Structure 1
Amino acid sequence: MAMIIRFLLVVGAVLGLVSLADAVAGTASYYTAPYVPSSCYGFQDNGVIIAAASDVIWDNRAACGRRYSIRCTGATNQGVAQPCTGTSVVVTIVDYCPSGCRGRTIDLSQEAFSTIADTNAGVIQIDYQQV
């Protein structure tokens, strides 16, 4: 029984490392409601756990509907020193960032951002991966 538990712990650790290796570093900001219309779906309501893609992700509208797992990794040079909540959030891309988010990777809805970080931070460092 102890061997099985050790085996499962090793497998879990390896799988955890694999998922971290697939993550891409970037930055995130947030925008506030109203969230419609959007570049992907017009006036369709897609809920509040959503995001707008920058040029890095947008891919000429191919990003519409893609889902990304986002995790806060730390503060940028502005805002709150320790903004991260320690949780992650999965968002759906429903929009395009104005002017490509001005260098940011992704623009989260306020609700999605507040799940992973203190909104007083404004902009945060993230790891993200498509799910």
Structure 2
Amino acid sequence: MSKIYHQPPSPLQRLSLSLFVFVELFHLTRADVGTAAQYSPPYLPTACYGNDQSQFPASNLFAAAGEGIWDNGASCGRQYLVRCISATTPNTCIQGQTIQIRIVDHVTKPASADGTTMVLSETAFGTIANATAASMNVEFQL
């Protein structure tokens, strides 16, 4: 029976592995805080995909990006994990609910959404918060 010799990783391999782990841990824990409002149909046309109905996920969990995340349209198609963390109205947030939304539009419509990080579809908003609330504070991450 032949022996198998295990060679220890080279310094470059160790550095690469350490860098990979650091980047992955940093990416997994990076979240931002912002505000979210909701908007109602009609949702078409959108700034990202015009009148294309296929832009909307089957779950109807989508949003319009505010200026802070719009990135000159580069946010189109991005998906964010979003959860409600607080609101001025007590009991607005549905505890333990996190959703994944897709950016399909740019916030240019309701004046009440001015300065908002994102404006969620009715379905998305109602999944993480009391649908009668006007807005909420959210935590979101790519």
For the criterion TM > 0.5, the same-fold answer is: yes
Stretch of structure 1 that moved more, 67-76 or 41-50:
41-50
Please, what TM-score do these two structures have when normalized by structure 1? 0.78
Which deviations, in whole Å up to 9, do the C-alpha atoms of 1:33-75 show, x marking residues without a partner?
Answer: 1211100000112142110000100000000000001000011
* Structure number with bigger Rg: 2
Aligned match of 1:38: 46
User: Secondary structure at the residue paired with 1:38?
Assistant: coil
Task: Figure out how many residues of one structure are paired with residues of the other and give that number.
Answer: 112
Aligned match of 1:93: 103
Select 2:36's aligned residue among 28, 35, 51: 28
Select 1:69's aligned residue among 81, 94, 99: 81
Select 1:117's aligned residue among 117, 126, 129: 129
Cα distance in 1 for residues equivalent to 2:124 and 2:130 = 11
Give identity over the alignment, percent.
Answer: 38
Aligned match of 2:140: 128
User: Secondary structure at the residue paired with 1:35?
Assistant: coil
> What are the ranges of 5 or more consecutive residues in structure 1 without an aligned counterpart?
1-14
State the 1:121 CA deviation. 1.3
> What are the ranges of 5 or more consecutive residues in structure 2 without an aligned counterpart?
1-23
Aligned match of 1:12: none
State the 1:120 CA deviation. 1.3
State the 1:102 CA deviation. 1.0
Tell me which stretches of 4 or more aligned residues in structure 1 moved more than 2 Å: none
2:57 matched to 1:50?
Answer: no
Aligned match of 1:83: 92
- RMSD between aligned residues: 2.2
Aligned match of 2:118: 106
Cα distance in 1 for residues equivalent to 2:114 and 2:40 = 17
User: Secondary structure at the residue paired with 1:120?
Assistant: coil
